[in-house]
């Protein structure tokens, strides 16, 4: 039984996952109390069922996390024998270590909280760092979407897949292999206090190439916009981007447009936005396939 959580973006992907599983969907009821507290309710018995709660941890992330926790208790209270969480976007995954003294390892806190709320299994799509999932005391899996998304990419020319930093080079390798293209990476630094990004002017064999930048997430668009501009300066013919999670904070789309990006392919792990730059790939069938095999 699939239970669609109330966070923005959960309903559509929950429906797609349920179709892939051949399962029924129950839409969780929700409201916010006048004082700001969250309320959820599963409106039918789940006696003896395995409950797959689909709740992406989309903005407002803190509310989404709390609703996911409340849903674990709700489905177990409604009789489910097991509660599995599918959180296509795992919020807080980028704070995966103490970059500055006194900081928390936020992803560890969130994963432990979800487990203690009642989930014994957790599935997500392309967590920022795979190793973070070790903080979840149960079964946890991150689904890589790049090979699946490659089938939907329609670009022509001499392809080069690029990661914006060394940490994402594995992503570039997966996508490049699926597209039969070469791959490389740029060198990015981020100021941990101001958030300012600097991409080193590393020379990439971009001359005349159709470049596809690949990353796990786009938030403000700073990383991809800077990389796009650098690549055009280095002679790229066209620049595209592909990400698992399109958070698109603030004026991210305008920044990408202004940089000259041709298209942004994104998974539907977060609420969709309408924009000529954007093309979404439904990851529901892929998640369903992994859930049924796992
Ligand atoms: C960071 O390591 C991530 O992989 C992304 O590159 C980053 O979070 C993107 O953020 P923004 O779009 O704000 O540059």
204-245 per-position pLDDT tens digit = 788 999 999 999 999 999 999 999 999 999 999 999 999 999
Answer whether residue 203 shows pLDDT above 80: no
Residue 194: its pLDDT value, please? 81
Kindly state whether residue 288 falls inside one of the protein's structural domains.
no
d(CA 294, CA 287): 10
| End-of-domain residue from the set 124, 143, 162 | 143
Kindly state whether residue 226 falls inside one of the protein's structural domains.
yes
Q: Which residues line ligand 1 (CB under 6 A)?
A: 94, 164, 167-168, 197, 215-223
| End-of-domain residue from the set 143, 172, 188 | 143
Answer whether residue 202 shows pLDDT above 90: no
Average pLDDT for residues 127-136, to the nearest whole number?
97
- Same-domain pairing of 161 and 126: no
Q: Whose CA is nearest to atom 5 of ligand 1?
A: 217
Kindly state whether residue 289 falls inside one of the protein's structural domains.
no
> 69 C-alpha vs ligand 1 centroid, how far in Å?
27
d(CA 102, CA 61): 22
- Same-domain pairing of 155 and 119: no
> 158 C-alpha vs ligand 1 centroid, how far in Å?
26
Each residue of 68-90: pLDDT tens digit?
999 999 999 999 999 999 999 99
Average pLDDT for residues 183-211, to the nearest whole number?
83
Kindly state whether residue 290 falls inside one of the protein's structural domains.
no
Q: Which of 282, 252, 250 is nearest to 265 (CA)?
A: 282
Average pLDDT for residues 133-151, to the nearest whole number?
97
Bond prior to 60 in cis (omega within 30° of 0):
yes
- Same-domain pairing of 90 and 210: no
Looking at every residue in the chain, the average pLDDT score rounds to 95
Residue the block writes with tokens 């990408």:
256
Average pLDDT for residues 164-180, to the nearest whole number?
95
- Same-domain pairing of 189 and 277: yes
106 CB contacts (<8 Å, ≥6 apart)? 92, 95, 96
Residue 184: its pLDDT value, please? 93
- Same-domain pairing of 109 and 200: no
Share of the chain above pLDDT 90, in %: 92
CB 19 within 8 A of CB 11: no
CB 96 within 8 A of CB 135: no
Domain that holds residue 25: 2-143
List 129, 177, 188, 226, catalytic entry: 188
- Domain total in the chain: 2
Kindly state whether residue 132 falls inside one of the protein's structural domains.
yes
- Same-domain pairing of 8 and 78: yes
- Same-domain pairing of 25 and 112: yes
85 CB contacts (<8 Å, ≥6 apart)? 53, 55, 68, 72, 114, 119, 121, 122, 123
Kindly state whether residue 59 falls inside one of the protein's structural domains.
yes
> 217 C-alpha vs ligand 1 centroid, how far in Å?
6
Numbers of helices and strands, H then E, in the chain: 8, 16
In the structure encoding, which two tokens stand for residue 278, read together?
């954007």
Quick one: which atom of ligand 1 is closest to the CA of 128?
4
∠5-9-13 over CA atoms, to 5°? 80
- Same-domain pairing of 106 and 233: no
| End-of-domain residue from the set 99, 115, 143 | 143
- Same-domain pairing of 6 and 137: yes
Average pLDDT for residues 142-160, to the nearest whole number?
95
Share of the chain above pLDDT 70, in %: 99
- Same-domain pairing of 194 and 252: yes
Answer whether residue 201 shows pLDDT above 70: no
With the most atoms of ligand 1 within 8 angstroms of its CB, the residue from 99, 216, 217, 245 to mutate is 217
Kindly state whether residue 294 falls inside one of the protein's structural domains.
no
Answer whether residue 7 shows pLDDT above 80: yes
Q: Whose CA is nearest to atom 3 of ligand 1?
A: 217
Residue 192: its pLDDT value, please? 77
- Output 292 or 202, whichever has higher pLDDT: 292
Kindly state whether residue 53 falls inside one of the protein's structural domains.
yes
Quick one: which atom of ligand 1 is closest to the CA of 220?
13
**Neighbour-count burial for 101-139, b at 16+ CB within 10 Å, e otherwise:** eeeebbbbebbeebbebbbebbbbbbbbeeebbebbeee
Each residue of 20-39: pLDDT tens digit?
999 999 999 999 999 999 99
pTM: 0.95
State yes or no: is 229 an active-site residue. Answer: no
CA distances 99 to 104, 112, 190, 197, Å, are 9, 20, 11, 15
- Same-domain pairing of 86 and 105: yes
Query: Residue 217 — φ and ψ, nearest 5°?
Result: -150, 145
d(CA 38, CA 291): 28
CATH number at residue 129: 3.40.50.2020
Residue 205: its pLDDT value, please? 83
Residue 228: its pLDDT value, please? 96
Q: Whose CA is nearest to atom 9 of ligand 1?
A: 218
Rg of the Cα atoms in the chain: 20
- Same-domain pairing of 136 and 199: no
For the CA atoms of 88, 35, 46, 5, the dihedral, rounded to the nearest 10 degrees, stands at: -20
């Amino acid at each position: 039984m699939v239970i669609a959580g109330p966070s923005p973006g959960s309903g559509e992907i929950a429906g797609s996952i349920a179709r892939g599983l051949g399962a029924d969907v129950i839409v969780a009821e929700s409201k916010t109390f006048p004082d700001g507290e969250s309320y959820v309710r599963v409106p039918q018995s789940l006696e003896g069922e395995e409950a797959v709660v689909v709740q992406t941890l989309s903005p407002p992330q803190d509310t989404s996390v709390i609703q996911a926790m409340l849903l674990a208790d709700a489905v177990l209270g409604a009789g489910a024998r097991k509660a599995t969480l599918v959180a296509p976007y795992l919020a807080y995954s980028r704070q995966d270590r103490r970059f500055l003294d006194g900081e928390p390892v936020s992803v560890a806190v969130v994963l432990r909280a979800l487990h203690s709320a009642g989930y014994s299994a957790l599935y997500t799509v392309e967590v920022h760092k795979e190793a973070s999932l070790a903080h979840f005391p149960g079964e946890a899996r991150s689904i890589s979407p790049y090979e699946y998304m490659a089938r939907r990419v329609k670009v022509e020319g001499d392809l080069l897949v690029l990661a914006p930093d060394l940490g994402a080079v594995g992503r570039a390798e997966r996508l490049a292999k699926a597209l039969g293209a070469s791959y490389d990476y740029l060198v990015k630094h981020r100021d941990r206090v101001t958030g300012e990004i600097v991409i080193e002017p590393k020379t990439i064999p971009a001359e005349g190439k159709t470049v596809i930048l690949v990353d796990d997430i786009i938030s403000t668009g700073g990383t991809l916009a800077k990389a796009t501009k650098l690549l055009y300066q280095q002679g790229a013919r066209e620049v595209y981007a592909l990400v698992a999670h399109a958070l698109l904070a603030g004026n991210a789309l305008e920044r990408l447009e202004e940089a000259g990006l041709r298209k942004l392919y994104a998974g539907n792990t977060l609420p969709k936005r309408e924009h000529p730059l954007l093309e979404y790939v439904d990851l529901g069938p892929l998640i369903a396939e992994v859930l049924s095999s796992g």
